[in-house]
Each structure stands twice: as C-alpha cells, then as structure tokens.
Structure 1
C-alpha cells in the first residue's frame, strides 16, 4: 500500500509540473503574440508619420517651384492659379508707396505703348553696356494695369547682378547703351516681356511693364 501511495503522489506531482509547464508555455505564447502585434502597430505608425512628412515635403517643394524671379526670361514648372489678362486695360498711376531709396516710376495713365520705350532719366559716364554683358543694377518694376510694384531690388536692400542674355527681351534690348551711374526708364510691351502667359500671380498675362533701372557697373561678355 505504501508503494501505491508513493506512485500516486509521484504521478500527482508530475501532473502538476506538466500543468505548470503548459501554463508557462501558453503565457509565453501570449507574450510573443502581444509583442508581435505591438511591433506591427509601431512599424505601421512610423510608416504613416514618414509618409505624412514626405507628402508635406513634396507639397512644399511644389510650392517653391512656382516661384519665379519676375526678371528672368523663364517659365515656372508649375503655374500658380490663372490671373486675369491685362489685355486692353489702360495704364494707371503707381498705387502704392515706393520702397525706401527707390526712384519714382513715371507712368502716364492711358493706353499702354505697343513698342519698347527707352528713356534715359539720368546720363551715366564711361563706356556703354554692350549686348550680352553682365550688369549690376538697382531696379523697380510696376505693372501698367494695376500700378502695383511686382519687384524691386530696393525692397531687398541690395543691388542685383544678371547676365543680360538670361533676361526678358525688353531688358536685353533696353539696357545696352547705359553707362555706369545712369538711370533709365523702360516700358516693355507684353511681347517683349511675359506675353500671353504672364508670370502669375504678380504679373498678369499680356501685361505692359514699367521699369526704372540704375546701372551700377557691368562686365563685358566673355569671348572665345
């Protein structure tokens, strides 16, 4: 009888051990499942954040790509919303204050000129600017139909340097002949500016442009 009792006790202990092991295995399995789910959720959350950041970066890049220096003879990769054409609209006087240090822009209200107007307001000295030179200038630009300033180096507090062969035709034709220290008025019709496309939102399609330009210096074009 003693032997049978010991066998039953031994079997009971073995059963309890097996039950404990089974419970431990189940707990370990549950822990691994929970951990796996947590990892999946974390990875998905990180991927979502990265996708959102990437989308914002792309949106910002697209917005930046629409910016266009209103002097350069080029078209932005993505055009801003359509702006009403200035075709047939008369010129109006300057409608906003001048930037500090900028000269007056003499706009005569009425029908815009149909050809390039070149008028020296101040005669410079020295050699005249040749074609395809690189010029250092101060300038202010006003839209004929609105009287609004669309660009000005005086607003930025520093002159600008441009190669003439990269600018709109009105500048390529209107700046050569200036001399250092000179000031010149250019009235540029649409076909020598931005034509029927304009440069929205600042310059409407078919807009006539008024510029007053101060020539500081220039570099002749390189040869060879």
Structure 2
C-alpha cells in the first residue's frame, strides 16, 4: 500500500470518527466497525441486510438518547435549583436564570433588531462548547434567530451589559440537542456581552 493511500485512509477515518462524535455517537466497537468496512470494500457479503442495519442503528441511537436525555434533564433541574441559592441570580417566569455581571447604559434591542455580541458557552460541568471570546471575533445575528433563552434575555439587556445566562433545556435545544457535547435536554450557561445593536 502506498504512503498516500495510507494517509488518505487515516484522514478519512479521522473525518468519519469526528462526524460520528459530532452527531452524538459516544462510543463504538472499533473492530466490528473495521470488519464492516473490510466486508464492503473487498466485496464480501455483509453479515446483515441494509434494512436490518438501519433498524439496529435507529434502535440503538434512540436507546442512547433516551437514557442520556433523562440524565441530562435531571442534572440540569438539580443545577438550576441549587443555582437559585445565589441571591444575585434572577429567575424569569419562563425558567430562564441570569446574573448581571456588568450593567450597561445603552438601548435594549427588540425582536426585530440584529445585535453584535461576545459570548462564552459552557455545559454545567464547565465544558466549553462554543465561544466567540476564544475565537476573538464577536458574533452578529438577529435577536429572533437564536435559542429562546437568548431571545428573552437579549431584549432585557442594554448595550454595554454583560450577563451570565443559565438556560434550561426547554429554552435551549430541548430534546433534540445540538450534536457533539450538547446532548438532549442539556442545560447551558452563557456569558453574553451585548456590544451593539447593528
């Protein structure tokens, strides 16, 4: 096997594994995975039909998501309940919680506005899943084009302010999650700095 093909094959493996992880697959049996690749690429008859394979994939993913969804919901609700013991945390009628880190004195955006923000998003265990701060470039987006927890918070914030948002799963990505580290029913934390209304 030539060196270029080996490198291409390894790169393809990295790409496939990365895509699987991003789509929420947490673990696999590598030897069975490689066995299936070998069967198909060498023209051998697979051990199962395409229909059976699809059914097994769907059932396994549903079971995984169901267990994960329940655990995430429970740990999120527990976290939010504990979080309210901090007297600087405010909870709205929707269940959104926030803490004001910096008071701004500018205008507040409306649902029709676009805003420029810096943000840093983590899970309740501190895992960073997205951060414009780390990228060094603020994000610009319509107020009504983000998760519901942000839509609510942005309209209460004023330009120049920085808030920490504690977003319950039903105001974030809900039961579907968002792939990768944001599983189903995941509570999210964001530090959001409202830079300007654009």
Fold match (TM-score > 0.5): yes
Residue in 1 that maps onto 2:126: 147
- TM-score normalized by structure 1? 0.52
Residue in 1 that maps onto 2:34: none
For the pair 1:168 / 2:147, whether they are aligned, the reply is yes
Q: 1:80 aligns with which of 5, 8, 24?
A: 24
Distance in structure 2 (CA, Å) of the matches to 1:117 and 1:128: 18
For the pair 1:138 / 2:126, whether they are aligned, the reply is no
1:193 to partner: Cα distance: 0.6
Bigger-Rg structure (1/2): 1
Provide Cα deviations, 1:144-176, integer angstroms capped at 9, x if missing partner.
2x2312111111111111112221111111111
**Counterpart contact for 2:96–2:168, Cα < 8 Å:** yes
Distance in structure 2 (CA, Å) of the matches to 1:129 and 1:65: 38
Provide Cα deviations, 1:30-62, integer angstroms capped at 9, x if missing partner.
xxxxxxxxxxxxxxxxxxx9xxx9xx99x969x
How many corresponding residue pairs?
142
Residue in 1 that maps onto 2:98: 118
**Counterpart contact for 2:21–2:180, Cα < 8 Å:** no
Q: What stretches of structure 1 of length at least 5 have no aligned partner?
A: 1-48, 68-78, 93-106, 220-224
Residue in 2 that maps onto 1:91: 79
Task: Please state which structure has a larger fraction of its residues in helix.
Answer: 2
* Paired residue secondary structure (1:214): strand
Q: What stretches of structure 2 of length at least 5 have no aligned partner?
A: 26-63, 86-90
Distance in structure 1 (CA, Å) of the matches to 2:84 and 2:119: 21
* Paired residue secondary structure (1:151): strand
* Paired residue secondary structure (1:176): helix
